[in-house]
Structure 1
Amino acid sequence: MNKELIINVAPAGVEIALLENKKLVELHHEKTDAKFAVGDLYLGKVKKLIPGLNAAFVDVGFEKDAFLHYTDLSPFARSILKFTQMAMVDKQENGFDFSKFEIEPEIIKTGKINEVLNGKPNILVQILKEPIAAKGPRLSCEISLPGRFVVVTPFNDIVAVSKKIHSSDERKRLHKIVEAIKPKNIGVIVRTAAEGKNTAELHEDLSTLIDTWHQIQRNLKGAEAPSKILSEQDKTTSILRDLLNEDFNRIIINDKNIFNDTRSYIQKIAPNKAEIISFYNNGIPVFDQYGVTKQVKSSFGKTVNLQSGAYLIIEHTEALHVIDVNSGYKSVSNNQEENALETNLEAAEEIARQLRLRDIGGIIVVDFIDMKLPDNKKKLQEAMEQFMRSDRAKHAVLPISKFGLMQITRQRMRPEVNINTSETCPTCNGTGKVSSTLLLEDEIEKRIHYLVTHQHKTLTLFVHPIVYSHLTKGIFSSIKRKWRKKYKVPIGIKPDSDYYLTEFHFYDANDEEIKL
């Protein structure tokens, strides 16, 4: 699979398009003044405890208090509270030695929020979900700092290796290396990208994250809640960190500063990939040059057309998203069951792409074309799971129900990408209705009557070509001829293809428009 990253830098922010085999699969927009991004760390102040929800509302500086549920507290919540207070009042220049920090006992899974956050303390929190609609951010105390090969989780000594690394020998090797190089009180999760990496590469990545943790400790010194303690890397860097692999073959950037930063980052994490990045300075917008704009316009909206003639209808409600699959005029054989399966498989691939592209989260209900054979239903479910395998968001695909519906759940971390690709019709102004030809004819005649009675002796009428044909058809029976005979003035009619259907204007003998 070929992957390309197209980065468009504009005054309002940075737009990032991820293409897989030339097809747009992810679209990110990072605003210049972006705040409360997933992964940001804040010093928050607990404002209100809600025992009924077993949750707390925390002030992190957003207009609405952020939400912190007990299940997101982390087993080491008491250690985080203790660390936060110690770091805020620490007098040492470089901060206290975290490896000597005494970890507090873990909290129980079935505990109560007021048992842990009693007294409404200040606490170090991480943004788990960005503000969506009228809701404030969702928080977590399970602090994690992601790197290229490892993820650091302070306050524990656990070493875990990604289950996607299938070789047991490789898993044991990585576990042994990390166990030997990690400091005390720092847990480490080894990512899939670490497979085959040597000790030096893993140590460099881990050391960078340990330095970041020490920086957090220093930033907490003297801080007052609410305040930002550390920002997640910009989206360009975070996407490269999470996705960069041998499949990437091109990164195109239209801004010199971000180009230099990205090139430096790639040379640091993957020197053999440095040649894939290029600077774009052509006059044509970069998204237009590489077909991103066209794909955006064709991929968003209520109806999504597929190459075969089938199409999807995507509807959104407050609680869930509904996708209806329609066969259109597609037909691969005379067998209805085979037609249904082929159309559903094509639709499943596009649905998996749409979920990533629009970043749709929550419950998604898909109404596929009805199939009778259980084997075909199983094939469709397996195909859907396969198509969604490259989706980084946590998701689950349920079997097709007896009503022929497939349910998909997908983690929502950020607001859904929603681009309006429709425009208000200039003729009907969005009502879906235009004046009938007879009514338009009457309206034009009323204007002629008014102008003639106000001493206009020569009139030229400009109309849409279709209306022109209607008004002038027939040599002896044309409406134009009847108007001339009735009002005793020369009336010229000319077509203008720039007019919309019901638009018309009058001009006088000096070719000046007559304003009514």
Structure 2
Amino acid sequence: MNKELIINAASTGVEIALLENKKLVELHHEKTDANFAVGDLYLGKVKKLIPGLNAAFIDVGFEKDAFLHYTDLSPYARSLLKFTQQCINDKSENSFDFSKFEIEPEIIKTGKINEVLSGKPNVLVQILKEPIAAKGPRLSCEISLPGRFVVITPFNDIVAVSKKIHSSEERKRLQKIVESIKFKNFGVIVRTAAEGKNTAELHEDMLHLLNTWKNIQKNLQNAVAPAKIMSEEDKTTSILRDLLTVDFNHIATNDKNIYNDTLNYILKIAPDKKDIVNHYNNGTAIFDHYGVTKQVKASFGKTVNLPSGAYLIIEHTEALHVIDVNSGYKSISNNQEENAVETNMEAAEEIARQLRLRDIGGIIVVDFIDMKLPDNKKRVQEAMENCMHTDRAKHAVLPISKFGIMQITRQRMRPEMNINTSEICPSCNGTGKVTSTILLQDEIEKRLHYLITHQHANLTIVVHPIVYSHLTKGLFFSSIVWQWRRRLKVPIKVKSNADYHLTEFHFFDANEEEIKF
């Protein structure tokens, strides 16, 4: 698969487009003043304990208190609280040696929030979900620091290897390497990207993450809650970290600093791919040059058209998203079942793309075109699962019900990407209604009567070209304008102006000055 990353830097922030085979599949927007991004670490202050919800509200500096549920506390919550307090009170120039830190007993899974956070202490927390709508951020105490090949988790000694590495031999090899080089008091999760990597590469990645942890310890010294302790890497770097593979073959940006940062990152993690990074300065907008703007405008409306003529209707409600699949004008055969299956298969691919592109989360209900045969329903379900295989967000696809409905759940991490592709109609100003042609003609005639009775002569009416055609159509002696001249016994001229909206008209006197009403 051909993958491209197009990075557009502007004064308001950075827009990042991910293209697969020239097709836009992900769009990210990193604002210049962005706060509370997923992965950021904060020193928070417990404000309220809610035993009924078994949760706490934490002040991290956002306008709404953040939410921390007991299930997000981590089994090592007591160790984290002890570590946080120890760092805050640490007065030494160099942070204490974390390898000598004494781990506290784990909390029980069925415990109560007020048993762990009694006294409303300060606690180190990580943003699990960004603020969405009226809700504050969702927090976790299960601190994790992601690298290119591994993720380290403090306060435990567990080593786990990604199940996406299918070879059992490779998983065993990576497990042995990591167990031999890991640091005390740190658990390690080996990522899929580590497949085939040697000991030196894994060790270098772990050293980089260890330095990050030391910086966290240093930033916690004398910190006063609420305070940001560490920001997640900028989105460009984090996307490269998570996505860079052998089929990632082009990165273009219009910003020199981002170009240098990206090139340095590529040289560090994949020096043989340095030539894929390009600094774009061609004059035209970078998104226009790579066709991103056109795809954005075509992909974010309520209606999404498919090549076969079929189309999707995407609606958002308070509780869920609803996607309706509608058949098109092309048919592959005279068999209704075959046509339904082919349209549904095409729709499944586009739906999977739309979920990634708009970053739609929560419950998604898809109303496919009705199919009678169970085997065909299973085919569409398998196609949906295959199309969503590359989606990094956790998701689940349920079988199609007897009503032709498929239910999908997708992890909601950030607010949904929503781009307005419509604008207010200049004719109706967004009301959805315009004056009918007959009523418009009557309105112009009434104003003509009024002006003539108030001693105005030699009038010129300026209207939209379509209205001009209506008023002057037919033979000269049968046109509406000629009838006005004969009935009112005054000279009347009509001119057209393409800048007017459809129902707009103005009157001008003999001196070409507009007559105001």
Question: Shared fold (TM-score greater than 0.5)?
Answer: yes
What corresponds to 1:286 in structure 2? 286
Q: Residue type of the partner of 2:459?
A: L
SS of structure 2 residue aligned to 1:322: strand
Matches within 5 A, 1:198-213: 198-213=198-213
Shift of 1:429: 1.7
What is the CA–CA distance in structure 2 between the aligned matches of 1:186 and 1:396, rounded to whole Å?
Answer: 31
**CA offset digits 1:86-130 (Å, max 9, x no partner):** 111112222111111111111111111111111111110000000
Q: Retained in 2: the 8 A contact 1:323–1:365?
A: yes
Shift of 1:467: 1.6
Q: Residue type of the partner of 1:485?
A: R
What corresponds to 2:462 in structure 1? 462
Shift of 1:498: 3.1
What corresponds to 1:74 in structure 2? 74
What corresponds to 1:484 in structure 2? 485
What corresponds to 2:391 in structure 1? 391
What corresponds to 1:60 in structure 2? 60
What corresponds to 1:184 in structure 2? 184
SS of structure 2 residue aligned to 1:441: helix
SS of structure 1 residue aligned to 2:16: strand
What corresponds to 1:509 in structure 2? 510
Q: Does 1:216 align with 2:252?
A: no
TM-score, length basis structure 2 = 0.98
What is the CA–CA distance in structure 2 between the aligned matches of 1:307 and 1:9, rounded to whole Å?
Answer: 32
Q: Residue type of the partner of 2:448?
A: I
What is the CA–CA distance in structure 1 between the aligned matches of 2:47 and 2:463, rounded to whole Å?
Answer: 65
Matches within 5 A, 1:318-329: 318-329=318-329
SS of structure 2 residue aligned to 1:469: helix
Matches within 5 A, 1:10-409: 10-409=10-409
Shift of 1:294: 0.8
Range with greater deviation from structure 2 (31-40 or 459-468): 459-468
Shift of 1:482: 1.2
Shift of 1:508: 3.0
**CA offset digits 1:295-316 (Å, max 9, x no partner):** 1111012111111100000111
Shift of 1:500: 2.2
TM-score, length basis structure 1 = 0.98
Shift of 1:156: 0.5
What is the CA–CA distance in structure 1 between the aligned matches of 2:470 and 2:242, rounded to whole Å?
Answer: 62
Q: Residue type of the partner of 2:313?
A: I
Range with greater deviation from structure 2 (186-195 or 499-508): 499-508
What is the CA–CA distance in structure 1 between the aligned matches of 2:142 and 2:326, rounded to whole Å?
Answer: 44
SS of structure 2 residue aligned to 1:273: helix
SS of structure 2 residue aligned to 1:176: helix
What is the CA–CA distance in structure 1 between the aligned matches of 2:485 and 2:511, rounded to whole Å?
Answer: 19
Q: Residue type of the partner of 2:374?
A: P
What is the CA–CA distance in structure 2 between the aligned matches of 1:182 and 1:405, rounded to whole Å?
Answer: 48
Range with greater deviation from structure 2 (140-149 or 425-434): 425-434
CA RMSD of aligned residues (A): 1.1
**CA offset digits 1:455-486 (Å, max 9, x no partner):** 33212222222222221223222111111112
What is the CA–CA distance in structure 2 between the aligned matches of 1:67 and 1:423, rounded to whole Å?
Answer: 37
What is the CA–CA distance in structure 1 between the aligned matches of 2:237 and 2:447, rounded to whole Å?
Answer: 63
Kindly, what percent of the aligned residue pairs are identical?
82
SS of structure 2 residue aligned to 1:196: coil
Q: Residue type of the partner of 1:98?
A: F
Shift of 1:492: 1.4
Shift of 1:381: 0.4
What is the CA–CA distance in structure 1 between the aligned matches of 2:348 and 2:21, rounded to whole Å?
Answer: 17
Range with greater deviation from structure 2 (73-82 or 281-290): 281-290
SS of structure 2 residue aligned to 1:74: coil
Query: Deviating runs (4+, > 4 A) in structure 1?
Result: none
Q: Residue type of the partner of 1:145?
A: L
What corresponds to 1:500 in structure 2? 501
SS of structure 2 residue aligned to 1:350: helix
What is the CA–CA distance in structure 1 between the aligned matches of 2:499 and 2:325, rounded to whole Å?
Answer: 37
**CA offset digits 1:238-279 (Å, max 9, x no partner):** 000000111111111111111111111111111111111111
Shift of 1:446: 1.8
What is the CA–CA distance in structure 1 between the aligned matches of 2:166 and 2:321, rounded to whole Å?
Answer: 35
SS of structure 2 residue aligned to 1:203: helix
Q: Retained in 2: the 8 A contact 1:330–1:343?
A: no
What is the CA–CA distance in structure 2 between the aligned matches of 1:462 and 1:342, rounded to whole Å?
Answer: 53
SS of structure 2 residue aligned to 1:307: coil
Q: Residue type of the partner of 2:51?
A: P
Shift of 1:169: 1.1
Q: Residue type of the partner of 1:250?
A: H
SS of structure 2 residue aligned to 1:151: strand
Number of aligned positions between the proteins: 516
Shift of 1:515: 3.3
Shift of 1:505: 2.1
SS of structure 1 residue aligned to 2:478: coil
Shift of 1:497: 3.1
Q: Does 1:452 align with 2:452?
A: yes
**CA offset digits 1:51-94 (Å, max 9, x no partner):** 11010011111111100000000010000001001111112222
